Structures are given as structure tokens and as C-alpha cells.
């Protein structure tokens, strides 16, 4: 009796041990399969990163690409079982020749998008990607034929290949799930297949393919239907269809009437709100102007003593060098390295530049000073020397740690730009361990911000008319084009902080752009918080700026000139502004034409209106969210120069002869803008 019990117990133990061994083996095999597949995905991604050779991807595509269902790699999303499910790299300027087999290791891939890059090669093979539902390779340079493997993607929902260089015929797509389809602007040929799936899409999906044709509705045997039923039956059927269409038409007309009423009341409400905001803004501007004048008087004395105390501290170190300043300061940046503690004049090889060296550091130390304001890169003071020209001294602050040689090298780059008539030249600089100073010519008419916004609501304000504003826009555009053409690096920002407070007004309202070349001297944390280029859409999304960031800043400046409103991203301390880009886009979309332009230019004669609308179009192109869609500054200069400048006297004579409400609310005036690419 005992022996059978022992045998039964032994068999049970054997079964349990065997089961555990089988579980361990299965787990080991499953783990091995997972890591093998993970390694294949990772290898494929590294190969793709090598082909694209993009600095940003080299930086962020490191470490595990999938950790369970999450990924820290830019543009990648993972499935629940830890495999790549989405690969989205859009609008990144990527270049490279993608291999046809680049995706064979991503069997769980469901979304693929490389749109708006510069990729080339043939379209990838999708035979091993059965779960793909969305493919967007539009806006690249892919060539060759559309692979037949796309026909095996049974769950395909979106297939977008427009704006490439594809050739060959259109495959016979017949997936019932297909909802988005576009092959326009390629080099496809032959006929569009008559499949149920492709018949859902109109001609726009195939436009821009000269060799591609459609089956005609007449003469096609697939379109000929056999005649059935008697003539009476056909008449009854036709009446029923007509009755149904008339009923639908009545419903649509009623819906349109209701919609128009709703839009009317919404627009009236928004217009009322907008007028209220405008009144509040003008009230704030008036209060700010009065407060600024009061503060300016209070700070005048304090600023004078402040610059004196700082410079007197430096004068003890400069006394020896100042005695010899006459003999040696002609070396400058262009002529050799200056010794420490000297006021170094900036000039080129032209002997005429030496006429600027009419004062010494000692003259600056003795000058009476008046505070002009505080900017991103430092405080400015008006220095009035006895018997010498009036100059402006900028005390630089928030700079990167730079040696004197590095500082001088950067000022040499600034000196190379001094020949343009719309750039404010730097006369001299001073560099020591504790002080960095720049000396500029004094421009008596002040800056553009005060000319647009200062003295609003006062009787003694001189109106800033359309002709003067167009002159300023032209001058700034020319200066910015000059900086862009003379900057070799494609990723550098030639100005970096273009705004109305950094534009001075010379004779006849000619523009003088200042603070160029200083953005690269400022510490990055300060630049990110205070300079205009770092407020651009591309920095918010990619943390990068370029020449196109300057173009965006110029577009915002044009909007400030046209609307007379303070831009929030460029407002000086103490001034509140509005998001001009968003406000103007809304105004264009809602056709609030009369509310866009500043009242001081809206009263101009009707002949000036086309120019104002044209400048608004240029501004809207410059503030495009995507840098690639913005024009280069050379193109901007050409378009601004084409705007006709009307006679200023005729504008003034016409102030009381025409209503700006009538001039600027003509439906035809805004049709191009409201219905074009600028609608958001």
C-alpha cells in the first residue's frame, strides 16, 4: 500500500519539474526573439540616422529607442509591446538618399511621414510593413515608380506623395479604407485606374502630371449602363430625384441664411470687442508716454552720476594709455591689436575714416551724460563733450565670457558692415576686465518706436504718414539684405534682435539699423529671454535660429509700421503690446480691413491703398510659421522697392477728401489676401 503512494508522489514531482523547465525554455525563447527584433530595429534606425546625417538627430537619437511603450527619440512612437509604431520626421530640412529596404525591419510600423524635406531615392518597399495605415512622403525629391507593395497594405487610410519626381503608372489601389490620396505634381504617365477606391478622389489628386490621363465619361465601356424600364418609369424616377434635390436645396438655403445671421452677430460682437481693446491700448500708450517722460527727467541726474562713477574707476587704469592715445589709437581693429585700456577707433583702410578720431577717452570721462534707455545688450548714454561731437556710449552687459582678442575679432566683423548707408556705424570701443563700451554717432531724431507710438493723443504730435513709413521699410530691408549677403554661415543670425527700438531715424526719415552683430556676444540664457529672433516659431519648436529668423522679425516690424500697435515680443520694458502676428491673421480672416491700418496712414489717398495692401502681403509672407516658406531678404527688398511711393503732399491734401473707411473696406482690396495662402 505504501509503494503505490510513493510512486504517485514521485510522478507528481516529476510533472511539476518538467512544467517549470518548459516555462523557462519558452520565456527564454520569447526574450531571445524580443531582443533579436529590438536589435534589428535599432540597427535600422542607426542606419537611417547615418544616411540623414542631421546634427539634431545625432544628438537626440541615443540610448534605447523604445522602453516598453514610450520613446525619448524625436519623431518616434512605440507600440505597447516595445516596437516602433510611428516614424514622423517633418519639416526638418533632412537630406539623403533613402534605401529601398530602409523599412524592412519595422513590421509593427503604422505611421510614416517624411513630408517637406529634401530626401531622394526611390520609394521604400512596404512589403514587410503590413500594419501601415498612413504614408506621407510629400514635398521631397523621390523618383522612380510607386512600388506595387502598397497594394498589399489592406488597412491603408492615407497615401500622400505629391510634390516629388515620381514616374511610371498609377497602381490599381482598391483598399476600401483609403480616405486621403494625392499624387499631384509628379511625372506620372498612363491612365488612372478605374477602381472603386480611386473613383472617390477628384482631379486635384492627380494634377501636375502632364502625361497622366483619365478615362473619359463618354465612350468608355465601363461607363455605359444598360437601359432598363419604360419611359414612364424613367419620368417618375426623374421627378422623384428632382423633388429630393429641391428639398435638399431648401434645407441648404435655410442653413446658409442661419449661418450668415450667426456670422453677422459674431462679427459685430468681435468688432465691438476689438474697438474696446483699441481704446484701452491707446489709453495705456498715453499713460506710458506720460510716465516715460516723467521717469526720464528723474533718471537724467542719476544716470549722469552712474556713468561717471564707473568710468572714473576705469580712468585710473587708463591714465597712462590716454596720454599716448593720439599716437597709437589709429591702429584700431583694422590696423593692429590695441593695448589694454585704450579707446580703439573702428575704421577700415580708407584714410578718410581718421576724421572720426576727434576725441579721447579722457574727453568721454569729462563729458556730461544723459541716460537714453536700457536695452538687451546694455544701457545707453548721451555723452556731450566740450567742443567735440555728441556721441552715444553703450555699456555692454550680459555678455559671454570673452577675451579681449575674441571681443576685438567680433567687433572686426561689425566693422566690415559699416559701409552701408542704412547701418549705424560703431565709432570706437573700449575693453577692460570690468567694462566693455561701444561708442556710436548720436542720431537726434530718436528711434522708430517713439516715432510710431510716442505722443499719441497729443495735439503737438506730427503724424507719421505712409510715405515716411514706406521709406523706413525700404531702408531696413536694404540693411538686413546687406547683413545677410555678407554673413557666410547659413545658420548664423546676422542681426538677431531687429525691432523698432533698434532702428534710428536720420534725415528725411532714413532708417539706421543699430545693434547688429551683438546677438552673438550676449549670453545664451539672456538672448533666449530678451532677443527677438528667439521668439520666432522655429525656436519654439526646434530650438534653432537662422537667417530666416531675421526675416520673421522684419515681418513683425512691418506689421508694427502698418498697424501702429506695439508688438508684444519686441515691446520695451514698461510697455504692453499685442500678439501682432495672431491679431493681423485674425483681422485678415474676418475681413476687418478698416481696423488693420493705423489711423495716421489710413487717411491717405486711395492711390496709396494698393501699396499698403502689398506691404501687408509681404509682411504676412515674412511671418510664415515655417522658415522654408519665408522669402529671402533679397526677394523682400525687390518686392518692397516695387511699391510706388505716392506724393506726401498729395496725401496730406487728401486727408479731408476721402474716408479711410470707404477706401480700405473695398471688397476687391482684400480679396487677394483673404483668399490666398495667408489665410490661417
DSSP states of 455-497: TTT-TTPPP--HHHHHHHHHHHHHHHHHHHHT---SSS-SSS-
33-213 homologous superfamily = Ribonuclease Inhibitor (3.80.10.10)
Phi-psi region of 53 (alpha: psi -120 to 50; beta: other; left: phi over 0): left
Enumerate the known binding-site residues.
394
Task: Please check whether residue 498 is in contact with residue 532, taking contact to mean a CB–CB distance below 8 angstroms.
Answer: yes
Band of pLDDT at residue 21, cut at 50, 70 and 90: low
List the alpha helices (DSSP H) in 324-347: 325-328, 332-335
pTM of the model: 0.50
- The Cα 575–Cα 106 span in angstroms is 54
pLDDT digits (tens, 9 = 90+) for 342-385: 778 876 545 444 445 677 787 778 888 888 877 777 788 888 88
pLDDT digits (tens, 9 = 90+) for 545-569: 788 888 888 999 999 999 888 887 7
What H or E segment, with its residue span, contains residue 407?
helix 404-415
pLDDT digits (tens, 9 = 90+) for 179-192: 999 999 999 999 99
- Sequence spans of domains, the chain: 33-213, 361-642
What CATH number was assigned to the domain covering residues 361-642? Answer: 1.10.510.10
Asked whether residue 269 carries a pLDDT value surpassing 90, the answer given is no
- Those residues whose C-beta lies under 8 Å from the C-beta of residue 255, and which sit 6 or more positions away, are none
Task: Please check whether residue 190 is in contact with residue 169, taking contact to mean a CB–CB distance below 8 angstroms.
Answer: yes
pLDDT digits (tens, 9 = 90+) for 506-558: 888 888 888 877 777 776 666 666 677 677 788 777 777 788 888 888 999 99
- The Cα 334–Cα 145 span in angstroms is 59
Q: What is the DSSP letter of 93?
A: -
Question: Which one is predicted more confidently, 487 or 583?
Answer: 583
Question: Which one is predicted more confidently, 473 or 32?
Answer: 473
Task: Please check whether residue 114 is in contact with residue 160, taking contact to mean a CB–CB distance below 8 angstroms.
Answer: no
pLDDT digits (tens, 9 = 90+) for 218-236: 444 333 233 344 445 545 6
The candidate with the shortest Cα–Cα distance to 183, out of 174, 315, 101, 168, is 168
pLDDT digits (tens, 9 = 90+) for 453-463: 888 888 888 88
* pLDDT of amino acid 216: 53
Q: Around Cβ 647, how many Cβ atoms within 10 Å? A: 13
Asked whether residue 274 carries a pLDDT value surpassing 60, the answer given is yes
Enumerate the known binding-site residues for ATP.
394
Amino acid at each position: 500500500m505504501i509503494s503505490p503512494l510513493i510512486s504517485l508522489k514521485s510522478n507528481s514531482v516529476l510533472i511539476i519539474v518538467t512544467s517549470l523547465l518548459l516555462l523557462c525554455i519558452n520565456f527564454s525563447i520569447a526574450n531571445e526573439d524580443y531582443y533579436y527584433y529590438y536589435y534589428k530595429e535599432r540597427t535600422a534606425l542607426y542606419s537611417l540616422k547615418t544616411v540623414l546625417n542631421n546634427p539634431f538627430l545625432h544628438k537626440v537619437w541615443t540610448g534605447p529607442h523604445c522602453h516598453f511603450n514610450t520613446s525619448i527619440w524625436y519623431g518616434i512612437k512605440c507600440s505597447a509591446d516595445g516596437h516602433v509604431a510611428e516614424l514622423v520626421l517633418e519639416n526638418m530640412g533632412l537630406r539623403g538618399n533613402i534605401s529601398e529596404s530602409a523599412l524592412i525591419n519595422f513590421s509593427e510600423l503604422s505611421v510614416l511621414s517624411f513630408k517637406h524635406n529634401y530626401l531622394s531615392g526611390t520609394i521604400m518597399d512596404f512589403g514587410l510593413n503590413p500594419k501601415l495605415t498612413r504614408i506621407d512622403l510629400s514635398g521631397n525629391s523621390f523618383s522612380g515608380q510607386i512600388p506595387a507593395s502598397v497594394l498589399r497594405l489592406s488597412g491603408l487610410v492615407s497615401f500622400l506623395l505629391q510634390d516629388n519626381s515620381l514616374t511610371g503608372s498609377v497602381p490599381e489601389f482598391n483598399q476600401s479604407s483609403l480616405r486621403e490620396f494625392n499624387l499631384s505634381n509628379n511625372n506620372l504617365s498612363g491612365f488612372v485606374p478605374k477602381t472603386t477606391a480611386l473613383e472617390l478622389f477628384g482631379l486635384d489628386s492627380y494634377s501636375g502630371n502632364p502625361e497622366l490621363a483619365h478615362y473619359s465619361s463618354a465612350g468608355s465601356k465601363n461607363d455605359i449602363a444598360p437601359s432598363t424600364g419604360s419611359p414612364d418609369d424613367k419620368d417618375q424616377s426623374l421627378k422623384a430625384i428632382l423633388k429630393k434635390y429641391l428639398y435638399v436645396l431648401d434645407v441648404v438655403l435655410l442653413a446658409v441664411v442661419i449661418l450668415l445671421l450667426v456670422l453677422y452677430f459674431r462679427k459685430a460682437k468681435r468688432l465691438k470687442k476689438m474697438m474696446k481693446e483699441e481704446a484701452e491700448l491707446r489709453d495705456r500708450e498715453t499713460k506710458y508716454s506720460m510716465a516715460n517722460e516723467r521717469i526720464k527727467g528723474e533718471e537724467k541726474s542719476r544716470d549722469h552720476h552712474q556713468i561717471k562713477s564707473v568710468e572714473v574707476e576705469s580712468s585710473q587704469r587708463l591714465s597712462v594709455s590716454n596720454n599716448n592715445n593720439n599716437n597709437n589709437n589709429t591702429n584700431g581693429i583694422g590696423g593692429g591689436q590695441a593695448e589694454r585700456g585704450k579707446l580703439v577707433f573702428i575704421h577700415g583702410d580708407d584714410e578718410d575714416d581718421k576724421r572720426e578720431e576727434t576725441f579721447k577717452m579722457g574727453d568721454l570721462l569729462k563729458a556730461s551724460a544723459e541716460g537714453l534707455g536700457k536695452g538687451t545688450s546694455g544701457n545707453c548714454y548721451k555723452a556731450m563733450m566740450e567742443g567735440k561731437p555728441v556721441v552715444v556710449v553703450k555699456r555692454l552687459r550680459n555678455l559671454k565670457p570673452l577675451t579681449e582678442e575674441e571681443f576685438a575679432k567680433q567687433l572686426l566683423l561689425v566693422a566690415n558692415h559699416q559701409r552701408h548707408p542704412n547701418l549705424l556705424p560703431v565709432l570706437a570701443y573700449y575693453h577692460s576686465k570690468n567694462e566693455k563700451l561701444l561708442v556710436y554717432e548720436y542720431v537726434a531724431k530718436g528711434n522708430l518706436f517713439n516715432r510710431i507710438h510716442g505722443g499719441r493723443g497729443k495735439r503737438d504730435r506730427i503724424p507719421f504718414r505712409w510715405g515716411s513709413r514706406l521709406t523706413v521699410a525700404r531702408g531696413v530691408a536694404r540693411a538686413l539684405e546687406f547683413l545677410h549677403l555678407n554673413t557666410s554661415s547659413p545658420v548664423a543670425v546676422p542681426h538677431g534682435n531687429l525691432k523698432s527700438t533698434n532702428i534710428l531715424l536720420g534725415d528725411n526719415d532714413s532708417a539706421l539699423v543699430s545693434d547688429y552683430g551683438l546677438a552673438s556676444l550676449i549670453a545664451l540664457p539672456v538672448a533666449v529671454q530678451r532677443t527677438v529672433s528667439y521668439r520666432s516659431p522655429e525656436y519654439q519648436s526646434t530650438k534653432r535660429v537662422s537667417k530666416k529668423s531675421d526675416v520673421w522679425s522684419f515681418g513683425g516690424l512691418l506689421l508694427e509700421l502698418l498697424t501702429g500697435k506695439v508688438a508684444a515680443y519686441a515691446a520695451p520694458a514698461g510697455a504692453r503690446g499685442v500678439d501682432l502676428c495672431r491679431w493681423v491673421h485674425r483681422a485678415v480672416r474676418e475681413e476687418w480691413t478698416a481696423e488693420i491700418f493705423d489711423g495716421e496712414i489710413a487717411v491717405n489717398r486711395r492711390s496709396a491703398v494698393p501699396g499698403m495692401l502689398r506691404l501687408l502681403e509681404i509682411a504676412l509672407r515674412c511671418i510664415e510659421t515655417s522658415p522654408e516658406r519665408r522669402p529671402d531678404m533679397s526677394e523682400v527688398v525687390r518686392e518692397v522697392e516695387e511699391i510706388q511711393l505716392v506724393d506726401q503732399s498729395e496725401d496730406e491734401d487728401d486727408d479731408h477728401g476721402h474716408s479711410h473707411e470707404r477706401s480700405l473696406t473695398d471688397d476687391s482690396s482684400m480679396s487677394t489676401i483673404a483668399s490666398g495662402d495667408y489665410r490661417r
